[in-house]
Structure 1
């Protein structure tokens, strides 16, 4: 063998041995990036394959489900996810179809209606004005209103409504939520919405309970906040929110404009009802912008989660200061702070908001101090159940302290009892149905989608669901007849009355 060939072989052997002996910590940048990408892909796959209902019947087999089959089961055409870990967006993925008829795939840039998640951003915008000295958090809100005043009555004379109360849903204001308007329908002005005057399709916003006496969710209260913000800023609401919140956070795919501008409509998901039918005109318009008007993406909303986390830690003040972030995340009445549902978990605080408009369901969730969170958006009335199943999978993968699967014990169904419970009810001013089919009992309400959810008996009057973490206890009158039920979700109880 020639000397040069011997030298080449020796060098090749030396390089090979050197590569084998190199510790993982000294891997090349390319190798490290490839390893991280492989680990992340595996993590995402486990989330996609690990869905479970939040509640399972004790003794039933453990069965994890995949995202594609659950989307088909729930008739959810598209779902988009942005996952936050270690204080950054770790991954974002979109699945399914933004528009079924046109076979347009959902992407991470597809716009969805955020619905009531709008309230969290609106609260941040209002508190930004407070820190500028243009609004006061406490004191009579009417002193900060010019073109319209909260009508005075026996309740407001006992206690004036403040901005803090409105942001906390503790002002005693009416109008739980809004139905929106089909494209082409006349849109009411904000003052028409507040007074329930045509073409507004909602009731007037009024105070019918003593302010600061109890927590009650009120989209109407946020419409009052919207007026306060426009008057204090001297700008249209969508313009102010763009300047004060969206642009500083880099939310370039978001807008409060109503209706959605033509330049963005091609990127918007079509809304679908619980039976998989497209909403007429693709989606509804919500001029009640502060309460429900935001169009956005999960990745844009993830920037809100990150900003709240960083502001609370004193690392950012793009919209609110550290002190104001702490105020936002401090419970007032109920489980609510100012713009967010809040839960103190000891080593961290969770802050969240869900949203539901005609054909859209969404969820924002974040933790302080751990740098974790998620935003999930769907284009279906049935999206809430799918989101719950996704949260269970994400929590299991990322070690979150919440959303663990709960086992509950069920007893056998009783056909005779079920017949007495079956009937028509009224829940949050919407129809609700209890349907008996022999030993099986079902609950259905458009508040939770069109699909019936089975009720599992714990007693002759107490039932739970597995589709969502909801329980129902039926109420009897003096004669023993069923007069209604109480629906419990989380720490909140919602009464329903029997109509037939």
Structure 2
């Protein structure tokens, strides 16, 4: 497997890669390959931090579903009933249908903002309210409803920014602190953090992002105040623990974050093969859940199988369009006889 991974990385010109494999409920492999930073030739290890990019969303979804279980949030109520400092602006699309948490988690709330570019280190970084309103120094348009909620599937990082504000308003805690206490800690994801910018101690463990041509991202990485949508720093091992946590909740073996009933709902199709925070494939005993991610200089992939406690997490400090992550996951599945 190591020789295969190194050959695939060389062909795709990927700088560094971190891998974790979950098999029969145990993390059986956790290893780094290549370089965390080209200039210093620092190697990737199992402890190297990468940006999870959009895989931040399903992890954040667990925190939101925990609040649903505590009856702090509702899946089907108008989100404006809990938003305090900012409200989803009403328009012609929201006259009869309102934005709900279920819609946000399943990308069917009609909210714009499919992705975010982040902010270079040393340049102004907006507050969350400025991102929501699209005001400088935010580099993204205001978060608005662009079609009737529930009428179509529309990938929306903007919806998760709204979710972040909902969680701030209802918990009265900084988003990174709430997620650390409610999700990351209970799942054993102790290396992970939503803190933006990254604290100095963790920055020393972080990989440098690289574009497709191999050049490094200015300042090593971008800062993402859109934490729920794109702000998670993590390791492949911690993402494997996330998969295991979802597996265990689905099987009723653990309620450290959410119950079996909520996990079953999370992994039930809501719209267009999308559950609540995770994409779904297959049915019955081969039901799989997965998510991908891309930030400036980082790509990520995670997949799990609901009934067999199997999964793969792959993180790279490169933007790759060769299909490396999916191809590698398929090769690993063959090697393990999945």
Compute the TM-score of the two structures, normalised by the length of structure 1.
Answer: 0.67
1:244-276 Cα deviation digits (max 9, x unpaired): 011111111110000000011111000001111
Shift of 1:335: 1.3
- Equivalent of residue 130 in structure 1, options 68, 87, 106: 68
Q: 1:83 and 2:16 equivalent? A: no
Larger relative contact order (Cα-Cα within 8 Å, sequence gap ≥ 6):
2
**In 2, Cα distance between the equivalents of 1:124 and 1:370?**
20
Q: CA deviation at 1:68?
A: 1.8
Corresponding residue of 2:81: 143
Are residues 1:338 and 2:276 paired?
yes
Partner of 2:39: 101
Q: Which residue of 2 aligns with 1:304?
A: 242
Q: Is the 8 A contact 2:18 2:314 kept in 1?
A: yes
Looking at structure 1, the residues matched to 201 and 322 of structure 2 have their Cα atoms a distance apart, in angstroms, of 29
How many residues align? The count is 338
Q: Does 1:360 align with 2:301?
A: no
In the other structure, the counterpart of 1:256 is 194
Compare CA radii of gyration and give the structure with the larger one. Answer: 1
1:323 correspondence with 2:261: yes
- Cα shift readout 1:416-455 (whole Å, capped 9, x = no counterpart): xxxxxxxxxxxxxxxxxxxxxxxxxxxxxxxxxxxxxxxx
8 Å CA contact retained: 1:329, 1:351: yes
Give every structure 1 segment of 4 or more consecutive aligned residues whose post-TM-superposition deviation is greater than 3 Å. none
Choose which of 327, 332, 336 in structure 2 pairs with 1:394: 332
Are the structure 2 counterparts of residues 178 and 310 from structure 1 closer, same or farther at C-alpha, using a change threshold of 3 Å?
A: same
Is 2:155 the counterpart of 1:155?
Answer: no
Distance 1:244 1:364 in 2: 21
Q: Is the CA contact (8 Å cut-off) linking 2:12 and 2:322 kept in structure 1?
A: no
Report the Cα offset of residue 383 of structure 1.
Answer: 6.6
Question: Contact (CA 8 Å) 1:111, 1:297: kept in 2 or not?
Answer: yes
**Per the alignment, in what secondary structure is the counterpart of residue 222 of structure 2?**
coil
Is the CA contact 1:76–1:383 (under 8 Å) kept in the aligned structure 2? no
Local SS of the residue matching 2:280: strand
| SS of 2:119 mapped into structure 1 | coil
C-alpha displacement of 1:48: 3.6
Distance 1:122 1:182 in 2: 24
Higher strand share: 1
Q: Partners of 1:349 and 1:83 in 2: how far apart? A: 18
Q: Given that residues 89 and 302 in structure 1 are in contact (C-alpha distance below 8 angstroms), is that contact kept between their aligned partners in structure 2?
A: yes
| Distance of 1:102 and 1:150 partners within structure 2 | 46
Query: 1:215-237: CA deviations, max 9, x gaps?
Result: 11000000000000111111010
How far apart are the structure 2 equivalents of 1:399 and 1:285? 40
Q: Distance in 1 between matches of 2:286 and 2:5?
A: 29
Q: Deviations over 1:88-116 (max 9, x none)?
A: 10111111100111010100000000000
Residue 132 of structure 2 is aligned with which of 175, 189, 194? 194
Q: Within 1, Cα distance between the matches of 2:286 and 2:171?
A: 34
Q: Partners of 2:321 and 2:171 in 1: how far apart?
A: 36
The offset of 1:70, in angstroms, is 2.1
Equivalence for 2:204? 266
The 2-side partners of 1:365 and 1:93 are apart by 17
Which of 99, 103, 109 does residue 165 from structure 1 map onto? 103
TM-score, normalised to structure 2's length?
A: 0.98
Tell me, yes or no, if the aligned pair for 1:176 and 1:220 is still in contact at 8 Å.
Answer: yes
- In structure 2, the residue matched to 1:347 is 285
Structure 1 runs not aligned, ≥5 long: 1-46, 50-65, 401-500
| Counterparts of 1:202 and 1:396, CA distance in 2 | 41
RMSD: 1.0
Give 1:177's match in structure 2, choosing from 115, 118, 138. Answer: 115
Q: Secondary structure at the match of 1:130?
A: helix
Summarize the alignment of residues 108-119 of structure 1 with structure 2, pairs less than 5 Å apart. Answer: 108-119=46-57
5+ residue gaps in structure 2?
A: none
What is the alpha-carbon distance in structure 2 between the residues aligned to residue 277 and residue 69 of structure 1? Answer: 20
